[in-house]
Amino acid sequence: AAWEKQVRLSSTPRRTNGFSVLVTGAAGFVGSHCSLALKKRGDGVLGLDNFNNYYDPSLKRARQKLLSKHQVFIVEGDLNDGPLLTKLFDVVPFTHVLHLAAQAGVRYAMQNPQSYISSNIAGFVNLLEVAKAANPQPSIVWASSSSVYGLNTENPFSERDRTDQPASLYAATKKAGEEIAHTYNHIYGLSLTGLRFFTVYGPWGRPDMAYFFFTKDILQGKSIDIYKTHDQKEVARDFTYIDDVVKGCLGALDTAEKSTGSGGKKKGAAQLRVYNLGNTSPVPVGRLVSILEGLLSTKAKKHVITMPRNGDVPFTHANVTLAFRDFGYKPTTDLSTGLRKFVKWYISYYGIQSKTRKGSQATGESG
């Protein structure tokens, strides 16, 4: 009963016509930021997360602590727990689901392929089954990935480009998610909006991502590996700052159509939509490293590897015309500005004094 009270309290909106949003992966990087932003504008938010140990779970607990200060409650549970999900939808008439829980990371798929199938495919289907049976049916916005473009050579990537050449099992499961979403939209009239995020970074980020462990390794004087493409070019990513992605997620929720409970053949059925959420400005990994060197005022020990990492794509680059047209998405943070905010958070979170203050003076940046 105390649990139910917490669930209700957390998910009740505080503004007129506010949403009740179930945020899956709320203890994760993107999920924690989105949960806070929704709560701050008066929406009701309930989190769900299994707190798995793919990366340091204490970071997930710290995000949970931050969220609880803002009255966001995270239910500890798995996407594959049908009875738990059904119970949540029995207690709360969710208007929206922001589905961000997944097994992320491109390389780990070679170590633990089943975790991708379990969370990104089985878990997603389980969530859709429960959402389809819920009354009201929620509108669903979920995280796809730039990795679905795989070896696509169009530059920049548009939503209509081919996505039939995934370079990793992670990408294949994200692509499968898009196909699965289509069927649930078509048969059950669920409103589904997929967001293809492009290498998102920022404060409270993911320790398994390059910008994060490069920072750690540079500060500790350890060498870092920099991979090349097959033709010895630099790998580039359309690194996207978390605040821009959060705005995109909220914009997608705001413009999501209502689920209709009727199949795609019927008139007025909800659409399945897919959008790129990138920065529109790819940066070579070498440049990422030199920005970090400046911010940390420490030279990196670089170890250049003359081949690509398994599962890597040579570049990513988003065309965001569609997201701009439909919900005004416009990324505003360049990589130097965003990394400065990340480094500032990193230093305060891990309590390292080091040379960074000197570093921000040296680069003329005030932080």
44-49 and 20-24 strand pairing: parallel
Which residue in the set 309, 341, 344, 355 belongs to the binding site for ligand UGA (CB under 6 A)? 309
Q: Is 220 exposed, middle or buried (0-12, 13-18, 19+ CB in 10 A)?
A: exposed
The Cα 275–Cα 142 span in angstroms is 11
Catalytic residue, chosen from 55, 108, 149, 170, is: 170
Strands (E), the chain: 20-24, 44-49, 73-76, 96-99, 139-145, 192-197, 200-201, 223-227, 236-237, 240-241, 272-277, 283-284, 301-305
Which residue in the set 29, 94, 157, 197 belongs to the binding site for ligand UGA (CB under 6 A)? 197
The Cα 124–Cα 101 span in angstroms is 9
Secondary structure percentages of the chain, helix, strand, coil, to 5: 45, 15, 40
Which residue in the set 139, 199, 333, 356 belongs to the binding site for ligand UGA (CB under 6 A)? 199
- Answer with the entry of ligand NAD, ligand UGA, none that 227 interacts with (C-beta below 5 to 8 A by kind): ligand UGA
Q: Residue 341 CA to chain centroid, in angstroms?
A: 18
Q: What are phi and psi of 20, to 5 degrees?
A: -115, 110
Residue number with the smallest Cβ distance to ligand NAD: 28
Residue window 14-53: x/- pattern of binding to ligand NAD, with contact defined by CB under 6 A: -----------x-xxxxx----------------xxxxx-
- What H or E segment, with its residue span, contains residue 99? strand 96-99
Residue window 108-147: x/- pattern of binding to ligand UGA, with contact defined by CB under 6 A: -------------------------------------xxx
Which residue in the set 22, 36, 67, 104 belongs to the binding site for ligand NAD (CB under 6 A)? 104
The Cα 206–Cα 218 span in angstroms is 17
The Cα 240–Cα 331 span in angstroms is 8
Which residue in the set 106, 134, 245, 246 belongs to the binding site for ligand UGA (CB under 6 A)? 106
Q: Judge whether 149 counts as a catalytic residue.
A: no
* 311 part of the interface to ligand NAD, by CB under 6 A: no
Instruction: Give me the least distance between CB of 194 and ligand NAD, in Å please.
Output: 10
The residues that touch ligand UGA, with contacts defined as CB under 6 A, are 104-106, 145-147, 197-199, 209-210, 225-227, 235, 237, 285, 309, 312
Give the catalytic positions in this structure.
170
The residues that touch ligand NAD, with contacts defined as CB under 6 A, are 25, 27-31, 48-52, 60, 78-80, 100-104, 119, 123, 143, 145-146, 197, 199-200, 206
